[in-house]
């Protein structure tokens, strides 16, 4: 990432963080719930972008990790009271990361289209596991009767109110985005980029491209699991469709529209698509056509993503100024 793009990436992240912090104070009711959903999906897109960008792994199976964590919360939640948030979240994220380890260990040995097909296959395997068997209520899904509570030594914190739950989501997504930002710029991120661009040179320096990619894939899967956990807690319901390949594909579109080589790009892609979906649904029953047109225009106008496109608009001005 060049210096200009890196500055724009950081500026967009800062702008998004500040704007999102004001949501509970300026919005109410359904608007806060919508903002919560968008924030969670932005976190999922950023997690996916971490492997699509630096690792060069086009995963179309990340919804499986997202859905597995959601189902773990549903299966662990008591029927008579709220679950322990720290315990259930830890197990859900670990479960998603463990599944990502299995998927990655097998799939990363493939290349290109074959890797994509492998991730789709594993995602559909997860979908049919919950849809066709008795695990998690089959095709009817499963309910989370009570939103988890945070049990601290001195008090219990409930998240029944929408503004408070939004702030929980904001903090978790902020941590995920911050971790992705740091990892992309860390020594590990440099090795990951090297493995993507030149495997032979990476091996010459003593690193295994396979192991580095697998570590990134597992980290990303765990982050996707955290977003699935929050989704289950928000809606109180999980369904097999959460794991289906089209859910992964939609997240991938968010990444590519915003810019896979940035941290802010996937989040901006998520915000754009979900807001467009919400607005168009109110205007017409053919809203999917409108969403499709937005995707087509965005890809044609900004093939590298919206954030790199905006950064590029300022390049001539900066060069002239210098």
Q: Containing H/E element for 157?
A: strand 156-157
Q: Is 156 in a helix, a strand, or coil?
A: strand
* Burial of 25: CB neighbours in 10 Å, binned 0-12, 13-18, 19+: exposed
Contact assessment for residue 177 and residue 13, using Cβ atoms and an 8 Å cutoff? yes
Read off the tokens for 299: 């890809």
Q: What is the pLDDT of residue 177?
A: 96
Q: What is the pLDDT of residue 133?
A: 83
Q: What is the pLDDT of residue 1?
A: 64
Residue 119 φ then ψ, to 5°: -70, -35
- Given the structure tokens 């899967």, which residue do they identify? 221
Buried b (16+ CB within 10 A) or exposed e, 50-86: bbbbbbbbbbbbbbbbbbbbbbbbbbbbeeeebbbbe
Q: What is the pLDDT of residue 28?
A: 84
Q: How far, in whole angstroms, is CA 107 from its chain's centroid?
A: 19
Ranges of the chain with pLDDT below 50: 318-322
Q: What is the pLDDT of residue 318?
A: 46
- Domains of the chain listed by start with CATH number: 3-321 (1.10.3470)
Q: How many CA atoms, within 13 angstroms, populate the side-chain half-sphere of residue 169?
A: 34
CA–CA gap between residue 10 and residue 12 (Å, rounded): 5
User: Which pTM does this prediction carry?
Assistant: 0.92
CA–CA gap between residue 283 and residue 261 (Å, rounded): 34
Residue 13 φ then ψ, to 5°: -65, -45
Q: What is the pLDDT of residue 220?
A: 97
Per the rule left: phi > 0, alpha: psi between -120 and 50, beta: everything else, 110 is beta
Q: What is the pLDDT of residue 52?
A: 95
Q: What is the pLDDT of residue 14?
A: 94
């Amino acid at each position: 990432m060049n210096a200009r793009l890196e500055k724009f990436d950081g500026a967009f992240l800062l702008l998004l963080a500040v704007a999102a912090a004001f949501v509970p104070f300026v919005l109410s009711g359904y608007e806060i719930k919508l903002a919560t959903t968008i924030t969670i999906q932005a976190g999922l897109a950023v997690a996916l972008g971490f492997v699509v960008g630096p690792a060069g792994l086009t995963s179309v199976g990340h919804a499986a990790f997202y859905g597995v964590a959601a189902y773990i919360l549903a299966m662990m939640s008591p029927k008579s009271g709220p679950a322990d948030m720290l315990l259930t979240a830890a197990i859900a994220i670990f479960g998603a990361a463990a599944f990502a380890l299995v998927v990655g260990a097998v799939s990363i040995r493939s290349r290109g289209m074959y890797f994509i097909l492998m991730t789709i296959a594993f995602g559909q395997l997860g979908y049919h596991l919950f849809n066709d068997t008795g695990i998690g209520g089959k095709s009817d899904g499963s309910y989370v009767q009570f939103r988890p509570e945070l049990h601290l030594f001195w008090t219990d914190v409930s998240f029944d109110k929408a503004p408070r739950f939004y702030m929980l989501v904001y903090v978790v997504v902020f941590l995920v985005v911050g971790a992705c930002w740091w990892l992309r710029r860390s020594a590990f991120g440099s090795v990951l980029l090297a493995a993507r661009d030149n495997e032979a040179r990476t091996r010459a320096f003593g690193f295994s491209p396979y192991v580095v990619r697998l570590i990134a894939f597992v980290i990303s899967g765990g982050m996707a699991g955290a977003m699935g956990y929050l989704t289950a807690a928000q809606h109180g319901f999980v369904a097999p469709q959460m794991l289906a390949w089209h859910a992964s594909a939609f997240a991938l579109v968010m990444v590519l529209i915003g810019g896979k080589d940035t941290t802010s790009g996937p989040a901006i892609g998520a915000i754009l698509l979900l807001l467009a979906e919400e607005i168009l649904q109110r205007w017409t029953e053919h809203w999917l056509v409108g969403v499709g047109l937005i995707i087509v225009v965005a890809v044609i106008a900004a093939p590298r993503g919206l954030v790199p496109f905006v950064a590029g608009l300022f390049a001539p001005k900066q060069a002239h100024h210098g």
